[in-house]
């Protein structure tokens, strides 16, 4: 188990510690570090960098946007990943939802450049960990390349 801390960039270019995780799996730390965005208490933070300081993993963030805090839909013990189309005009529609047993499984998915769904190739734009809803989200855009079961 490791330690993780989120540090917020303040207007005076200093950082303040905002969230601490004293006992967290390394796999979850790595999956979180792969996410460009972090949502907690209705605030979306954008990752600016990361570091390891002594025995603490640090993710540096800045505030990106504020919104209402959303609740998790259920108390599922599995780890949920939503794959969403990057399209703000349509509210980033969900293409599909997958469940995983470990954060390493999620990392192996959100860390890839391309995803295939419904006969199309989709390119990764960004990922987020939304603690309010207890889900990871992967944002993708359609490349225009068709995909048929192992053949692009």
Q: Of the ranges 10-14, 58-62, 128-132, 139-143, which one carries the lowest mean pLDDT score?
A: 10-14
103 three-state secondary structure: helix
CA atoms 21, 24, 30, 36: torsion sign: negative
Taking the C-alpha atoms of residue 96 and residue 17, their distance in angstroms, rounded to an integer, is 35
What pLDDT, in 10s, does the model give residues 5-60?
999 999 898 999 999 999 999 999 999 999 999 999 999 999 999 999 999 999 99
Find residue 50's DSSP bridge partners: 59
pLDDT at 76: 63
Give how far the C-alpha of residue 97 lies from the chain's centroid of Cα atoms, to the nearest Å: 14
> H or E element: which one contains 105?
helix 103-110
């Amino acid at each position: 188990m490791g330690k993780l801390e989120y540090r917020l960039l303040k207007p005076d270019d200093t950082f303040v510690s905002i969230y601490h995780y004293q006992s967290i799996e390394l796999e979850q730390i790595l999956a979180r570090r792969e996410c460009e965005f972090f949502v907690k208490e209705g605030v979306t933070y954008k990752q600016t960098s990361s570091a390891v300081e002594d025995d603490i993993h640090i993710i540096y963030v800045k505030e990106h946007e504020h919104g209402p805090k959303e609740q998790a839909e259920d108390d599922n013990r599995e780890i949920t990943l939503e794959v969403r189309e990057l399209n703000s005009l349509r509210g980033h529609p969900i293409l599909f939802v997958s469940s995983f047993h470990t954060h390493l499984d999620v990392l192996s998915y959100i860390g890839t450049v391309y995803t295939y769904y419904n006969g199309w190739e989709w390119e990764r734009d960004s990922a987020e960990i939304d603690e309010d809803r207890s889900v990871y989200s992967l944002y993708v855009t359609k490349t225009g390349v068709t995909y048929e079961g192992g053949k692009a």
